[in-house]
Chain A
Amino acid sequence: MSEIPEHLLKRAQAAREKAESSQEPTDNASPTKETNSQTTVAVADESPIQEIDEKAEEILERISKGLGQKLISSHIAPNRGLWIRVSSDDWRETAQFLRDQLDCRFFDWLSVIDWMPSPYGRELETEQDVDSQAERIEDQPIEWGYTGGKTRFQLITRVYSISLGIGVMVKADLDDHNPRALSLIPVYPGANWHEREAREMFGVTFDEHPDLRNIYLPGDFEGHPLRKDYPLLSRRIKPWPGIVDVEAMPGEEK
């Protein structure tokens, strides 16, 4: 790459124009041929037509056949993933089903999402927090993500089937005041630490877990830090990170 020959510059220009034109919502989903590398690179499909992810549809059909009424809702983002939602009572059974019937033997991760909008809020335009001393902003309605929801806390886990080559994201609504579910340890021993983390960060109890101690925080830590109503103290005393305190230079007006 010592000297860039002219024909390469021309090609770069052509590629740039092509990339710009592909930004517009046209139906040219055809792959671009990069003659330089003799390889084919797929360009982002910008077409508004919904693609269909056949593999995920097929797996979802198998899941809904197996789970029947237990499957509350589902969502497929084409080539991005498969989400299903079950009741927290069926939490362990669902995992058992996925492991035994769909060969999802790889336990990926488990966590919780707190869907409550942060009561401390933020004014995005000014990039400043709402004054911490002021009243909390009034309760906004909760908006859930894929598969919808009913309660503030949602348990989410991802298991993966290596033979089928697909991961399934399982969500379950938890009770607002007493969030609890059965531990997944009998199905996936690896859930142990993930559940300990979810317990200390969100206050979700996992029944039949042998050892629900804190994993990161000191034993006497109070509160559940990843809940939305747990204030991030450093953010209460310092403004938005990224705003630089600019001091006026000598001789400059303030």
Chain B
Amino acid sequence: MSMTSESDQLAYIASQAADARVNVEVETDEGMTLNLGPQHPATHGTLRIIAKLDGEKVVAAEPIMGYMHRGYEKLTEVRTYPQVTTLVNRIDWLGSFANEVPFILAAEQLMEVEAPPRAQWIRTILFELSRIANVCLFLGDMAVQIGATTPVFYAFRDREFVLNQIERVTGGRFHPNFDRIGGLKDDLPKGWIEETRGALNRMTDFCDEMEELVLGNEIFQARTRGIGTIPSDVALAYGLSGANLRASGIDWDIRRDANVGLVYDQVDWKVWTHPDGDSFARFWVRLQETREACNIIDQLLGTIPSGPIMAKVPRIIKVPPGEAYVATENPLGEMGFYVVSKGDLTPFRVKIRSASFSNMSIAPWVLKDVFVPDIISILASLYFILGDIDR
């Protein structure tokens, strides 16, 4: 291993030493360094935060990632288009189906194929179901980070109903790999629509339950109100998206404003925003969005058109040369695929724009000058999945 400079060597030794001691506090003359992670329950995976403290106050905090980097952008270059969906499934593993959709839509754009209406409807329903499955975990997890242990059990209990419905259609609870270029793998099973309505009722009840249990709680309010405030300008410049952006008062939702290939324009629904931009606002917006997702699915279930679920596509998929960028409003925020094709079986280059990467890039800014316990609640409210940061 060649070290180009002395500072590189020092950085390397320091990183090795830091890896050896996990969650150790180091005190020097300049203050204290607190190492959170890589194995910390607040990080949904292996994110490490090095925080320099002055007393209880954070002077500088820096997230260190890469513990889960799998190199998907390189791997896509040696896989055919249908094989890529298996990979991108694993980016945000809590809402897997939602990962497949933007990639498939980008490939469809280049091939100038459009999925039949029925497939678009089912795609949208599954997309929203994965949003519920994903955000549901956040609602429970956010509370548990603050010290309330009950909500997370409720979340895991009720999430099962949604996962069961996803499993009944796709055969997979976590990695459906169900979306195809030109449509879907299969049609809905018999009796699924009625059962899904039942699951949606459970989820609406769950949202009410969480609202009563968490939102009005005095401790929860004290730990989240006015903590980790992100003004709208900063949020935009850092590329925050999804509920994090809407919690800063920006009324922008890709589902409504830049919708591609999904049928949100057929539904009567509302985009929720909150003007405060603090941890509480982010929780509140996500809670409302879960309820709204139930509303969207409920309307779509009643209007699924009949017809085929696959458009005519060649058996061997070769995508014509061109470039396409398609983004969708995933549970974590904007997820987009920039696909460059040269007319081969495999993409020439795929740039994955994942929501959590941009959402986390604001961490050094927002964690400055907060108190140590607030690191946990702010990180929890920003809500990231490590697979979505590291790709």
Contact = CB atoms under 8 A, between A and B. Distances in A.
Interface in B338-391: 338, 340, 342, 344-346, 349, 351, 353, 357-358, 360-362, 365, 390
Interface stretch (A63-71, A172-180, A184-192): A184-192
Contacts of A192: 361
B306 A219 contact: no
Contact of B12 (A107, A156, A219): A219
B266 interface: yes
A133 interface: no
Given A41-B120, A124-B344, A190-B362, A19 B325 contact: no
Contacts of A15: 116-118, 305-308
Nearest to B346: A122
A232 B12 contact: no
A161 to B, nearest CB: 10
B361 A226 contact: no
A38 B302 CA distance: 11
Contact of B73 (A20, A81, A167, A226): A226
Given A108-B239, A165-B258, A216-B66, A20 B312 contact: yes
Interface in B292-346: 303-308, 311-312, 321-325, 327, 334, 336, 338, 340, 342, 344-346
B29 interface: no
Given A15-B308, A217-B69, A220-B8, A124 B345 contact: yes
A232 B260 CA distance: 33
Nearest to A165: B257
A113 B349 contact: yes
Interface size classification for chain A? 35 or more
Nearest to B340: A145
Contact of A81 (B2, B312, B325): B325
A226 B69 contact: no
Interface string A183-202: 00000111011100000010
Of B113, B236, B340, which is in contact with the most chain A CB atoms at under 10 Å from its CB? B236
Contact of B252 (A162, A188, A220): A162
B362 A2 contact: no
Interface string A93-122: 000000000000111110101100010001
Contacts of B116: 15, 19
A209 B69 CA distance: 23
Contact of B238 (A12, A39, A77, A189): A189
B237 A105 contact: yes
Contacts of B239: 106-109, 188, 190
B306 A36 contact: yes
B54 interface: no
Contact of A19 (B74, B252, B263, B308): B308
A1 interface: yes
A188 B15 contact: no
A213 B117 CA distance: 47
A122 to B, nearest CB: 8
Interface string B1-34: 1110000100110010000000000000000000
Q: Which 5 A-B pairs have the closest CB atoms?
A: A15-B307, A44-B114, A190-B238, A216-B66, A37-B303
24 contacts: A1-B188, A23-B312, A36-B305, A37-B266, A37-B305, A38-B303, A43-B114, A44-B113, A80-B324, A111-B351, A113-B340, A124-B345, A146-B323, A156-B351, A158-B353, A190-B358, A192-B361, A215-B66, A216-B65, A216-B66, A216-B69, A219-B15, A226-B73, A235-B78
Given A37-B266, A158-B325, A189-B238, 7 more contacts: A44-B113, A81-B324, A107-B237, A108-B327, A162-B236, A222-B1, A241-B78
Interface of B: 1-3, 8, 11-12, 15, 65-66, 69, 71, 73-75, 77-80, 83, 109, 112-114, 116-118, 120, 188, 190-194, 233-234, 236-239, 250, 252, 257-258, 263, 266, 303-308, 311-312, 321-325, 327, 334, 336, 338, 340, 342, 344-346, 349, 351, 353, 357-358, 360-362, 365, 390
Interface of A: 1-2, 8, 11-12, 15-16, 19-20, 23, 32, 34, 36-39, 41, 43-44, 46, 77, 80-81, 83, 105-109, 111, 113-114, 118, 122, 124, 143, 145-146, 156, 158, 162, 165, 167, 169, 188-190, 192-194, 201, 213-220, 222, 225-226, 232, 235, 240-242
